[in-house]
Chains A and B, each alone.
Chain A
Amino acid sequence: MENLDINAAAQEYFARIHRAALVLSGNPWDADDLAQETFLILSRQGAQFEGRSSIYTWLYGILLNVDRRQRRQFGMRRRKLRVLWDNDATVQTVPAADAKTEASEWKRSLWAHVAQLPDGQRQALVLRFSENLRYEEIAEVLECPLGTVKSRIFHGLGSLRRLLDLEGEEARELPAFPSEDISHAV
């Protein structure tokens, strides 16, 4: 087993993992959490790294698993919150001023739409067009055949195209509700 220098790995790869976490999660707070969680897991499981793959593909695999787990947990929390908020219709949550700026950057990017895609397509697109991994490396991270990677990328882009077209059509057809607070949708 190869002895990993965890701190050296963090210095070298933290920025890349943080960027991938940013496009996966959509906001810098969750990106920080995801990236740090990834390297925490690396620090605990570094002894298990056998050197069969490159360290960064291993890191991406950890990151995607952490993201998947947090999405599941967030889905459960959102369901619990819905029970709380539904009982009090007067509760309003107003995002902080800096959160609006960050949210607007995210909403302007295409990655906000990629977040609506299925996990397989979303992860393939992140690894290919955000992290510039080769198809073989993506197949290694996602633990799927090479053909599946190419298929996910192709269909992911096609679905993204379709979502953008639909959004354009809906924006043209639906009027804005005057009572709705759309100040956050900059």
Chain B
Amino acid sequence: MPFNPRIIQTEPAPLDDQGELQLPDDLAALAEQLSADSQHLADCFPVGAINVAFRSAKGRAFAERKPTTSHNRHRSRRVRYVLGGGLVTVALSCAFLLLSPSPFAQPKALPQAESTSRSEDAKAIAVRAFSKPSQEVSFAPALLDDVSRPELEGLIDLWQSQSSEVASVSF
């Protein structure tokens, strides 16, 4: 039967008179080798300069957070709202002015023949668009070549976190 390290072993650990673990020579040598390997791995992959600044859940660093009173927080929020509202108003006004026709210009009356030809052109364009054969889309699966393990785990996290809700656009 092949050796399975996960099988529970019932043999008691050898202890000396003081209750300390008494390892056989070969196991003691293994223990020393484990310690040496651990130090070797730590030397191969050092931590480097530790520049740690833990951040709160809102993304602001503990060290960088400036002490603010609640009054200051409310005031800055109000200022942001007012500025944002003003910007939106300006943007809407500009859009309205650009898109709306000038009140002083008289609308040009198109000749009858030209207007019908225009509608016919539009119809022809629409017919051409719908009758154009659809382009073939290649469904060749993307092969994840040269993907390292951390990148692969990131991709999997991305797939799992993608929401199934349909994206919506509001005007």
Contacts and interface: CB of A to CB of B under 8 A. Distances in A.
Interface of A: 6-7, 10-11, 14-15, 18-19, 22-23, 27-29, 31, 35, 39-40, 43-44, 74, 77, 80-81, 88, 90-96, 99, 102, 105-106, 109-111, 114, 116-118, 121, 125, 128-130, 132, 135, 147, 150-151, 153-155, 157-163, 166
Contact of A129 (B2, B35, B40): B35
Interface stretch (B12-20, B77-85, B99-107, B130-138): B12-20
Contact of A153 (B11, B21, B44, B62): B21
B47 interface: yes
Contacts of B27: 154, 157-158, 161
B149 A154 contact: no
Given A43-B54, A110-B33, A159-B5, A14 B47 contact: yes
Interface in B89-118: none
Contacts of A19: 38, 41-42
Interface of B: 2-3, 5-6, 9, 11-15, 21, 23, 26-27, 30-31, 33-35, 37-38, 40-42, 44-45, 47, 50, 52-54, 57, 62-63, 141, 143-150, 152-153, 156
A7 B62 contact: yes
Contacts of B9: 155, 158-159
A153 B37 CA distance: 17
Contact of A111 (B38, B47, B50, B147): B38
B30 A160 contact: yes
B151 to A, nearest CB: 10
B44 A105 contact: yes
A110 B30 CA distance: 9
Contacts, number: 139
Contact of B38 (A23, A40, A153): A23
Q: Which 7 A-B pairs have the closest CB atoms?
A: A154-B13, A130-B38, A109-B37, A159-B5, A129-B34, A28-B45, A157-B27
A102 B71 CA distance: 54
6 contacts: A11-B50, A19-B38, A150-B15, A150-B21, A151-B13, A153-B21
Contacts of B40: 105, 109
B34 A14 contact: no
B24 to A, nearest CB: 9
Contact of A10 (B26, B52, B156): B52
A99 B150 CA distance: 11
Contact of A155 (B11, B38, B144): B11
Given A117-B5, A118-B6, A93 B41 contact: no
B21 A154 contact: yes
Given A93-B144, A93-B145, A99-B148, 17 more contacts: A7-B52, A15-B42, A23-B37, A23-B41, A29-B150, A43-B54, A44-B57, A81-B152, A95-B149, A109-B40, A110-B33, A114-B34, A116-B5, A128-B31, A129-B38, A130-B38, A157-B31
A18 B63 CA distance: 23
A14 to B, nearest CB: 5
Given A40-B54, A155-B11, A90 B3 contact: no
Contact of A7 (B5, B33, B63): B63
